[in-house]
Amino acid sequence: MDRFLQGVEMRHACKIFDETKAIPNEQFQNILKVGHQAPSSFGLEPTRLLVIKDKKTREEIKPLCWDQAQITTCSEVIVFKALKVDLLAGSNYVKNSVARKLKSPEKQEIRNTFYANYLKNRGYDDYTIGYWSALQSYIVATSMMDYASFLGIDSCMIEGFEKKPLEKYFNLDTEREQITLLLTLGYRKKPQSERLRIDFNEFVKFI
Ligand SMILES: Cc1cc2nc3c(=O)[nH]c(=O)nc-3n(C[C@H](O)[C@H](O)[C@H](O)COP(=O)(O)O)c2cc1C
């Protein structure tokens, strides 16, 4: 089995981490770099990360994360945020992103119009744009989690949190950004539990 698949086998939703073990800084920096390089729709990179190093902050957010042990026992806690209104067509954020990649004003114009039509076609508006941007953050988180597994580092994604209170705790301007999920990383304290997946043939069909 190749090393990537070994990582897939060892990955599980780690419920409690060994508090005495820390991820080497270089490996953690590389996990963050993998997230930075993740793909995003239209290359708009709407994901932002908040790495919670501060112990007190971790203790304070734990009750807002359903008191889950991962928050305070893991080596690293990463809060995933996703931009919202900046992704709307015609925003300065979108225009700047397009201009960074396309030098010609004509090409920028075509791209911006194409983007506006795309959002319209998908029905993304001021409100639903948040769903779309959240999807992008999951791609970043998954890349980072898979790379961590490749390195033999355990993880657990955390969707179990009180969204509004947590956003308030971090003083987010919720018109502009939202918290989508957290990723906890470290080393397991207990053995992996048995994995029970649906049958492979239910998961995939070939036509
Ligand atoms: C987006 C996402 C959010 C999750 N949130 C939590 C969580 O808040 N707490 C938790 O213990 N597990 C959480 N999990 C883990 C899942 O419950 C777990 O991946 C699933 O049961 C399959 O088990 P496995 O990952 O061990 O194979 C989450 C997983 C994903 C993908």
The whole-number average pLDDT for the span 153-168 is: 98
Whose CA is closest to atom 26 on ligand 1? 12
Q: What is the pLDDT of residue 193?
A: 87
- Residues 53-62 have pLDDT tens digits of 999 999 999 9
In a 3-state reduction of DSSP, which class is residue 79?
Answer: strand
Q: Beta strands of the chain (E only): which ranges?
A: 47-51, 76-83, 154-158, 177-186
pTM for this entry: 0.97
Can you tell me which atom of ligand 1 is nearest the CA of 138? Answer: 1
Q: Give which of 71, 87, 51 is closest to 170, Cα–Cα.
A: 51
- What's the 204 CA to ligand 1 centre distance in angstroms? 21
Q: Please, which pLDDT band fits residue 162 given cuts at 50, 70 and 90? A: very high
Q: Of the residues 72, 158, 161, which should be mutated to test ligand 1's pocket, given the most ligand atoms within 8 Å of the CB?
A: 158
- What's the 160 CA to ligand 1 centre distance in angstroms? 9
Q: Which residues have any ligand 1 atom within 6 Å of their CB? A: 12-13, 15, 68, 156-160, 181, 195
Q: Of the residues 157, 161, 189, which should be mutated to test ligand 1's pocket, given the most ligand atoms within 8 Å of the CB?
A: 157
Instruction: Determine the Cα–Cα distance for residues 153 and 56; give it in Å rounded to an integer.
Output: 24
Q: What is the pLDDT of residue 3?
A: 93
Q: Which two tokens stand for residue 195?
A: 């994995």
pLDDT at 65 over 90: yes
Name residue, tokens 């539990």.
193
Whose CA is closest to atom 11 on ligand 1? 15
Can you tell me which atom of ligand 1 is nearest the CA of 195? Answer: 27
Q: Which residues on adjacent β-strands are paired with residue 184? A: 77, 156
